[in-house]
Amino acid sequence: MQAKFAGNSQDAIPIDFIKADGLDTWLSDKSGQINAWVKSNGFTAALGQVLTLPDTGGNITRVLAGWGQASDHSKGRYWAASIAAKLPEAVYEFGSGLEQSELHEASLSWLLAQYAFDRYKTKSGSLARLKPDTSINAERVEALATAEFLTRDLINTPASDMGPDALEAAFRKLGGEHDAKVSVIKGDALLENNFPMIHAVGRASDQQPRLLDMTWGNDTDPKVTLVGKGVCFDTGGLNIKPGSSMGLMKKDMGGSANAMGLAHLIMALKLKVRLRLLVPAVENSISAGAFRPQDVLTSRKGLTVEINNTDAEGRLVLADALTLADEESPDFIVCMATLTGAARVALGPDVPPFFTDSDSLANAISNASVSETDPVWRLPFWDPYEPIIEPDVADLDNAPKGGFGGAITAALFLRRFVEHADEFVHLDLYGWTPVAKPGRTHGGACQSIRAILRVIEERHCHD
């Protein structure tokens, strides 16, 4: 689904955004009829409230949009989306009441409100479209929304239609749209090319495990490599998940979906970087050939891993992909994964934790998280916990007993596979919006990619 504004030449109905304490002033120079209409409809300019103003023929001439108190906005942003969602099908434009600095976010909110996962619906809904204000960068906002739609669609599509085969097809399509180079290593070729852990995790599925690899841009530009967890369904493997925990596991490719959304942005906005996108795409399934608890795997890097829970599969496939990413010593590696339940327990579904050893990168991410309305929060790579991930029989333990600091120990595990990159950040995403909010539909969620995009622009794109 493409996110699009209405064309510039179209007639549009203006929307006046009115703060609750500014309603009386706004009404003071309006006709008695408008005053009566506003009163009789109970319009108080509460945040998200909408009132259409008809002419004598019954056509909508203006829209009043409640913008509430300034303090309301701190409860979460993207409120313009709740206004878009309440309007009938037509073309609108922003009239009065928004600050210049609010236009970008309000416009993005509007586009985000237009998302619907309608692949399995035989009827589709109506759209209130926005003619963008001439002062905003409409192409950038469209790219941001299109990336988010791509991510949501990929996550929302059930594993029956988004297994490793379909994820590969979507990956190739994305590469094709931007003239990127795509290569795929699949099935036994993973063993021949030394990706043993991607193979081990995915080999029990009917759809072969694979590593998807995309490169784009100029080799002499800064190298930015994105690695996304592509577990198309996570049953837990032989350590099978209980039904309640398995229910949402179509979203376990959420890291790859977000990395693909970010890759789309980098390519659509033509950032001056050499992009690489790596996605280990597997299904963590159960069959006679499944990997088992207490198996010892030898990773691409040579580190051995004792499997103590086949449900800690994400770190295994990511380890081999991160090893490959690290081999060319890129400037920046970004890892995105629905890696641990512990991350969700620590920070809830809306604030993904991120891990990096670079304080300056961490500060840049935190700042971008605020300016882009893309919440993330730093957790530590806590060195003293390193012994927790070292078992008796191998170099590493994929699922340490006790479960202490589960998001941290998973992150420490990944860090063992990154040595040469200048900077490394790992984001443990939830990838799902459990309760719809303005601009965020229930279901697959785009998280952290606007913040990371901003950071890449600031730190790696210098002409």
Token pair recorded at residue 97: 């009441």
Which one of Mn ion, Zn ion, ligand BES, none interacts with residue 285, CB within 5 to 8 A by kind?
Answer: none
Half-sphere exposure of 37 (CA within 13 A, CB side): 17
Binder among 128, 201, 312, 446 for ligand BES (CB under 6 A): 312
Compute the least distance from the CB of residue 280 to Zn ion, in Å: 12
How deeply is 368 buried, as exposed, middle or buried, from its count of CB atoms within 10 A (0-12, 13-18, 19+)? Answer: buried
Q: Which is nearer to Mn ion, 148 or 313 (CB)?
A: 313
234 is an interface residue for ligand BES by CB under 6 A: yes
For residues 390-409, which are near ligand BES according to CB under 6 A? Answer: 399, 406
- Hey, how many other C-beta atoms are within 10 angstroms of the C-beta on 269? 17
Compute the least distance from the CB of residue 162 to Zn ion, in Å: 15
Closest CA to 158 of 209, 231, 232, 212: 232
The DSSP symbol for 404 reads: T
Compute the least distance from the CB of residue 346 to ligand BES, in Å: 11
**Phi and psi for 165 in degrees, rounded to 5?**
-60, -50
User: Please, which contacts does 365-368 make with residues 24 or more away whose CB atoms are closer than 8 Å?
Assistant: 365/425, 365/451, 365/452, 365/455, 368/450, 368/451, 368/452, 368/454, 368/455, 368/458
Closest residue (Cβ) to ligand BES?
341
How do beta strands 353-355 and 377-378 pair?
A: parallel
Tell me the window of 235-243, 248-256, 297-305, 352-360 that interacts with Zn ion (CB under 5 A): 248-256
Q: Which is nearer to ligand BES, 16 or 252 (CB)?
A: 252
- Given 19, 241, 437, 459, the catalytic residue: 241
252 is an interface residue for Zn ion by CB under 5 A: yes
Binder among 252, 326, 374, 423 for ligand BES (CB under 6 A): 252
Q: Which is nearer to Mn ion, 148 or 283 (CB)?
A: 283
353 is an interface residue for ligand BES by CB under 6 A: no
Compute the least distance from the CB of residue 167 to Zn ion, in Å: 14
Compute the least distance from the CB of residue 202 to Mn ion, in Å: 13
Instruction: Please report where in the chains the tokens 């493409």 appear, as a residue.
Output: 2
Closest CA to 418 of 379, 381, 393, 390: 381
Q: Which is nearer to Mn ion, 227 or 362 (CB)?
A: 227
The DSSP symbol for 75 reads: G
* Cα dihedral 399, 404, 406, 411 sign: negative
Closest residue (Cβ) to Zn ion?
234
Binder among 102, 142, 148, 311 for ligand BES (CB under 6 A): 311
Which one of Zn ion, ligand BES, Mn ion, none interacts with residue 309, CB within 5 to 8 A by kind?
Answer: ligand BES
340 is an interface residue for ligand BES by CB under 6 A: yes
CA dist., res. 382 & res. 408, Å (int): 7
Active site annotation includes 241 = yes
- Given 186, 229, 315, 415, the catalytic residue: 315
Task: Pick left, alpha or beta for residue 141 (phi over 0 → left; psi -120 to 50 → alpha; otherwise beta).
Answer: alpha
Q: Which is nearer to Mn ion, 312 or 449 (CB)?
A: 312
342 is an interface residue for ligand BES by CB under 6 A: yes
Tell me the window of 210-218, 244-252, 291-299, 413-421 that interacts with Zn ion (CB under 5 A): 244-252
Q: Which is nearer to ligand BES, 309 or 373 (CB)?
A: 309
CA 235 to chain centre: 22
Which one of Zn ion, ligand BES, Mn ion, none interacts with residue 341, CB within 5 to 8 A by kind?
Answer: ligand BES
Instruction: Please report where in the chains the tokens 């190298």 appear, as a residue.
Output: 223
338 is an interface residue for ligand BES by CB under 6 A: yes
Q: Which is nearer to ligand BES, 58 or 402 (CB)?
A: 402
> What one-letter code names the amino acid at 371?
S
CA dist., res. 394 & res. 7, Å (int): 61
Closest CA to 321 of 169, 424, 197, 183: 197
Q: Give, in degrees to the nearest 5, the angle at Cα 132 between 130 and 138.
A: 120
Binder among 314, 405, 406, 444 for Zn ion (CB under 5 A): 314
The residues near 42 (Cβ < 8 Å, ≥ 6 apart) are none
Compute the least distance from the CB of residue 46 to Zn ion, in Å: 41
State the DSSP H helix or E strand holding residue 274, giving kind and residue range, or none if neither. strand 274-284
168 is an interface residue for Zn ion by CB under 5 A: no
For residues 415-434, which are near ligand BES according to CB under 6 A? Answer: 430
Residues that bind ligand BES (CB under 6 A): 234, 252, 309, 311-314, 338-342, 344, 399, 406, 430
**Known catalytic residues?**
241, 315
